[in-house]
Amino acid sequence: MNEHPVTRLDPRRARTRAALISAAQTFLAEDRTAVPILEITEKAGVGLGSFYNHFDSKEALFEAAVEEIIENHGDLMDRVTEGIEDPAEVFARAFRLTGRLHRELAGASQILLRRGSEMILSDRGLGPRALRDIKAAQVAGRFTITDPELALVAAGGAILALGALLHREPNRDAASAADALTTDLLCMFGMDVVEAQEICSRPLPALDELLA
């Protein structure tokens, strides 16, 4: 069953729902989905009875928590690539920033790593946006790929593997790793290495401003 709708006219309900989702995201990052609802509500700082005003089940809450992370990430990538005409650069900028966010948003990163295929193949969030940009770059002759969906799978697998590597090696520089991997992907998709390196050396928005 779907969660109960929350309207903008009820800020108190919205705050309670947000607290529940935040608590669920904490447990997801810790891979603790077997926690009882009481522990979730205690973590959220709300009463047990409030839970069922927003969600029909614990599963519905965790689903909403994952969907929020996926969609928020997609919205962020839309903002940071707005106004860029070259679809290859749009793809590259989103990929480079996503790689950096594995370090900056470690909790959300852990959730995405555990739900990797869901992130890549979801009809919301980063996956469909990346596929859109890959197809646009193909049409524009910027990528020479023959199968955009396979290219998406390659890119999605690469960004998840990068996240796993960055978590395993906390001293590795996330920015340089993300840029190097993006360069390799652009080359794999048919771009000249010199141009790929130049695109991946262009300035990016400051992460502290993006996440403020």
pLDDT at residue 9, as a whole number = 46
Summary mean pLDDT of the chain:
87
Q: Which residues contact 80 (CB under 8 A, 6 or more apart)?
A: 93, 94, 97, 204, 205, 210
Q: Which long-range contacts (CB under 8 A, 24 or more apart) does 193-199 make?
A: 196/92, 199/88, 199/89, 199/92
Task: Give percent of the chain with pLDDT exceeding 90.
Answer: 54
Q: What is the arithmetic mean of pLDDT over 8-23?
A: 83
Q: What is the pTM of this model?
A: 0.78
Higher pLDDT, 144 or 7: 144
- The three-class DSSP label of residue 114 is helix
pLDDT at residue 2, as a whole number = 46
pLDDT at residue 210, as a whole number = 67
CATH number of 66-210: 1.10.357.10
pLDDT digits (tens, 9 = 90+) for 50-92: 899 999 998 899 888 888 877 877 788 888 888 999 999 999 9
Enumerate the CATH 1.10.10 domain ranges in the chain, comma separated: 11-56
pLDDT at residue 1, as a whole number = 41
User: Per CATH, the architecture of 11-56 is what?
Assistant: Orthogonal Bundle (1.10)
Highest average pLDDT, of 8-17, 77-86, 102-111, 118-127, comes from: 77-86
Q: What is the arithmetic mean of pLDDT over 103-119?
A: 76
pLDDT over 80 at 189, yes or no: yes
Q: What is the arithmetic mean of pLDDT over 85-107?
A: 90
3-state secondary structure labels for all residues of the chain: CCCCCCCCCCHHHHHHHHHHHHHHHHHHHCCCCCCCHHHHHHHHCCCHHHHCCCCCCHHHHHHHHHHHHHHHHHHHHHHHHCCCCCHHHHHHHHHHHHHHHHHHCHHHHHHHHHCHHHHHHCCCCHHHHHHHHHHHHHHCCCCCCCCHHHHHHHHHHHHHHHHHHHHHCCCCCHHHHHHHHHHHHHHHCCCCHHHHHHHCCCCCCCHHHHCC
Enumerate the CATH 1.10.357.10 domain ranges in the chain, comma separated: 66-210
Integer Cα distance of 37 and 149 in angstroms = 38
End-to-end CA distance of the chain, in Å?
Answer: 34
Q: Report phi then psi at 81, rounded to 5.
A: -110, 5
pLDDT over 90 at 144, yes or no: yes
Instruction: State the pLDDT confidence band at 121, using cuts at 50, 70 and 90.
Output: confident
Q: Which residues contact 192 (CB under 8 A, 6 or more apart)?
A: none
Residue 190 contacts residue 174 (beta carbons within 8 Å): no
- The three-class DSSP label of residue 55 is coil
